[in-house]
Amino acid sequence: MSEVMDALEASFGAVEGAGVPAARPPLAGASARDGAFAGFVRSGAMLETKAMSGASDAAGGYAVPREIDAVIDETLASISPIRAVANVVKVGSAGYRKLVASGGTPSGWASETGARAETGTPTFNEVAPPMGELYANPAASQAMLDDAAFDVEEWLAHEIATEFAKAEGAAFVNGDGVDKPRGFLKVPTSAAGDATRPFGTLQHLVSGSAGAFAANPEEVLIDLVQALRAPYRQGAVWVMNSATLARIRKFKTSDGAFLWVPGIAAGQPATLLGYPVVEAEDMPDIAANSLSIAFGNFKAGYLIAERTETQIMRDPYTNKPFVHFYAAKRIGGMVSNSEAIKLIKFAAS
C-alpha cells in the first residue's frame, strides 16, 4: 500500500511542478456568455475598452457592445413601424445635412445649325433633420443583478429597446422638432399637386366628409394611390392605426370584392389596393380634419439620422438598493422629400 501512495504523491508532485492549473467545474448558474460587460453591469467592475463599435466618451460612458446594440436595433424595427420603412442613416455628429434636388434639368429643341439658348438649372434644397437625445433609465435591484441565472444582456436590451421604441414611434409621426425628430404629420399640407406645391409641403386629398369617408370610400383611396407619381409607388406602403384599418377592411367594391386582401402565405403582408399596410398606433383616429391615413414611399420621403452607438452609464448610488442604467442616443428625423408621401384629410373640402 505504501508503494501505491508513494506513486500517487509522485504523480501529483509532477503536475504541481509543471505548473498545470487544476480544472474546476463551473459554479452553479455561471454562464460562458458573461463577459466583461456583464461584470460591469452586475458589479460596476471596470470594462476593458476593446469594443469594436467605439470606446468610452470623455464624460465616462461605456459604449454598448456590438451584441447588445444589434439586439436593440432589431427590436426597434419590429416595435417602431416607421423606422422599419423609413430611410435610416448612421451619422457621426448632430450636424447632418442632405441635399434634395427638386425638378430636373430643362432641355430644349433646336435645328442642326440653330443657336442654343441657356437652359435652366436644377433647384437644390437642403434638409437638416432636427436632432434630440433619446434616453432610457431602467433600474434593477442589486439582488437581481447578483443572481447568476439572470440574463443581464437580454434584460438590458429589452428595457432600452422598449423605451426607445415608444418615444421613436410617437416622434416620427407627431414630433414637433424641438429636441426631437419632426414627424411627417407636423409639416404643412396643401391640396396642390407636385408641380405647384412648395418644397417641404405634403399633399393631402380630402375624404369628402368631415370626420368620415364619403359615399364611395374606395374612390379617395384610389385617388391617393394615383396622386403618388409612378416612381414613388415602387415600394410604397399605407400607414394608419388599427382603428382606421378596422373600418377599411370592411370596404367592398361595387361588385362585392373586398379592398383588403390578406396575405396568402406566412410572412406575406396583407395589402390594400395592392400595397402593404403598416399599423402605426400613433396615427390619429378618424375625426374632423384629421390626417389619419398616409400613403407613400417612406424610404424616399422620411429620413432618420442616428448616432452609431448607444452610450450607457451605471449608477448604483442615486437610488439604493437599485442600480440605474442610463442609456442615451442622439437621433433625428424629418420629411426629406415631400413628393413621396401623401395624406388623406377627413374633411368636406
DSSP per-residue codes, 272-332: ETTEEEEE-TTSPPS-TT-EEEEEE-HHHHEEEEEESS-EEEEESSTTTTEEEEEEEEEEE
DSSP at 333: E
pTM beyond 0.75: the answer is no
What is the chain's pLDDT, residue by residue, as a tens digit (349 residues)? 555 556 545 554 554 554 545 444 444 444 444 556 666 666 665 544 444 334 444 433 455 565 667 677 777 777 788 999 999 998 877 677 777 776 666 788 888 888 888 877 777 777 788 899 988 888 888 877 777 566 766 777 788 888 888 888 899 999 999 999 999 999 999 999 998 888 899 999 999 999 999 888 889 999 999 999 999 999 999 999 999 999 999 988 777 778 888 877 767 778 999 899 999 999 999 999 999 999 999 999 999 998 867 778 888 898 888 888 888 888 999 999 999 999 999 999 8
Residue 129 identity: P
Residue 3 identity: E
Output the CA angle 228-231-234, nearest 5 degrees. Answer: 90
Cα dist. 317→36, 148, 312, 343 in Å? 21, 22, 15, 49
Provide the angle, in degrees to the nearest 10, between the axes of the packed helices 36-43 and 152-174: 80
Residues of the chain with CATH 3.30.2320: 189-297+339-345
Asked whether 59 and 89 are in contact (CB, 8 A), the reply is no
Pairing of strands 237-240, 291-296: antiparallel
Residue labelled with grid coordinates 415608444:
166
Asked whether 286 and 329 are in contact (CB, 8 A), the reply is no
Nine-digit cell string for 192:
396642390
pLDDT of residue 137: 86
pLDDT of residue 141: 82
Residues of the chain with CATH 3.30.2400: 52-99+125-178+304-335
- Least Cα distance to 312 among 189, 113, 160, 121 occurs for 160
Architecture of domain 52-99+125-178+304-335: 2-Layer Sandwich (3.30)
Residue partners of 44: CB distance under 8 A and separation at least 6:
314, 316
Residue 288 identity: A
| Residue count of the chain | 349
pLDDT of residue 171: 94
Architecture of domain 189-297+339-345: 2-Layer Sandwich (3.30)
3-class secondary structure, 127 = strand
Q: How far is CA 316 from the centre of its chain?
A: 30
Helix (H) / strand (E) containing 56: none
Nine-digit cell string for 332:
433625428
Asked whether 164 and 329 are in contact (CB, 8 A), the reply is yes
pLDDT of residue 332: 92
pLDDT of residue 63: 54
Long-range Cβ contact pairs of 104-113 (< 8 A, separation 24 or more)? none
Cα dist. 206→12, 217, 273, 278, 280 in Å? 89, 11, 19, 21, 21
